[in-house]
Structure 1
């Protein structure tokens, strides 16, 4: 009697669980799978605005790499050459220092060479004219070096506006679709709304790193310019006094 009751209970459990399992499988098969959107599909969905945004992203990467290489302090100031320049200034070897500047052209050597060009070969040095020439050359060079840095600021300010323009374009198309087909087909609005959202996100993705790197390069370059003025001032003092500055070996290292 007990065995019959166990068999009966087992059969009833199969009758209850079986249909539920089959119903769950049928529901899973009937449910539509969420389609994964690739990066290229998102770019295509963004529409015409993705073309200028793509150019801006390429320009951003280019200027980040260029400024990262060109605005390094060891490239701009050549601190490794400071001991040699100080010894030349101590010995009043202006021509040799000018030739050394021409052989190693960078921000520091260009500005310093401009001041040395105002020195007389006879030994008479008008330091007011030398400093005037250095100020003129430094202004010229600072402007030249700041241009690639400022381009990052332009990209950071312009890309969100382009993204917003793409957003407005997508929303206009969405309202045109609503006016023509009504609200009965939401899938018809998906492309227009996707265009609006993708362009906004792309503009911000470009603008945020562009502005971060702009402030980073600008602040580093301002610091390098301040160090440039201090180094050239030390060289001119050595040229005028003929004495070595205190601790110049540490500066050269």
Structure 2
């Protein structure tokens, strides 16, 4: 309350930022995004050929990595180019979902200092208006405006700095996950295409010797 009504949007942004941070920490746990051993297990499934639509549906719903690998298994009988295109399309959607709410967190990190500056300007305006009405004889009026300005500035920075740091941290984590998922996808792609036995080449007919 000492910061004035300009503190309301700062507190609102802090509540949103806290909710996003808690949700992203929970959703971006490594065990839920990249279950350990899932890539090797899926490649073993592909080699055995024991895959059905229900199995693929359960794999896709289990984790982002599972969704990516299931998209390749769904078209495993197609050419390498088609499987690769499906992996790329699914990978873009998976990466977009992992980055959910991060733009909002980055926006809060950007506008936090601006909201603090706005509160500072409001506090200074209030101080000057009080001085114009009552003169400079009462130092409490000036102290109230200065205190309001400083509280808003500090509150804006307190919200913006952690939001910016965590925004960069989550971006880095998502990038690392994407690299690891790409590695697993390439390994599965190689198993589905390069690992298949090549069809035997047709024997070349020998040319009959010319009659002498």
> In the aligned structure 1, how far is the partner of 2:62 from the partner of 2:106?
27
> In the aligned structure 2, how far is the partner of 1:130 from the partner of 1:83?
18
> In the aligned structure 1, how far is the partner of 2:80 from the partner of 2:104?
36
Does 1:71 pair with 2:28? yes
Q: Cα gap change, 1:161/1:197 in structure 2, threshold over 3 Å: closer, same or farther?
A: same
SS of the aligned residue for 1:45 comes to coil
Q: Which residue of 2 aligns with 1:112?
A: 69
Aligned equivalent of 1:59, options 16, 20, 45:
16
Runs of 5+ unmatched residues, structure 1:
1-43, 244-253
> In the aligned structure 1, how far is the partner of 2:195 from the partner of 2:82?
19
Q: Which residue of 2 aligns with 1:239?
A: 192
Q: Which residue of 2 aligns with 1:167?
A: 120
> In the aligned structure 2, how far is the partner of 1:65 from the partner of 1:59?
10
Indicate the structure with greater helix content: 1
Does 1:101 pair with 2:80? no
Does 1:230 pair with 2:192? no
Aligned equivalent of 1:81, options 22, 35, 38:
38
Instruction: State the structure with more CA Rg.
Output: 1
SS of the aligned residue for 1:147 comes to coil
Q: Which residue of 1 aligns with 2:154?
A: 201
> In the aligned structure 2, how far is the partner of 1:165 from the partner of 1:99?
51
**Please, what is the CA RMSD of the aligned residues?**
1.8
Q: Which residue of 2 aligns with 1:185?
A: 138
Q: Which residue of 2 aligns with 1:135?
A: 88
Offset of residue 232 of structure 1: 1.1
Q: Which residue of 1 aligns with 2:207?
A: none
Cα deviation code 1:119-178 (max 9, x no counterpart): 3xxxx3222111111111111221222132222211111111011001001101111111
Give the TM-score, by structure 1 length: 0.72
Aligned equivalent of 1:218, options 162, 166, 171:
171
> In the aligned structure 2, how far is the partner of 1:99 from the partner of 1:179?
71
Runs of 5+ unmatched residues, structure 2:
197-212
> In the aligned structure 2, how far is the partner of 1:99 from the partner of 1:192?
61
Aligned equivalent of 2:49, options 73, 81, 92:
92
Offset of residue 51 of structure 1: 1.0
Give the TM-score, by structure 2 length: 0.85
Do the aligned residues in 2 keep the contact of 1:153 with 1:214 (CA within 8 Å)? yes
Do the aligned residues in 1 keep the contact of 2:69 with 2:188 (CA within 8 Å)? no
> In the aligned structure 2, how far is the partner of 1:170 from the partner of 1:136?
51
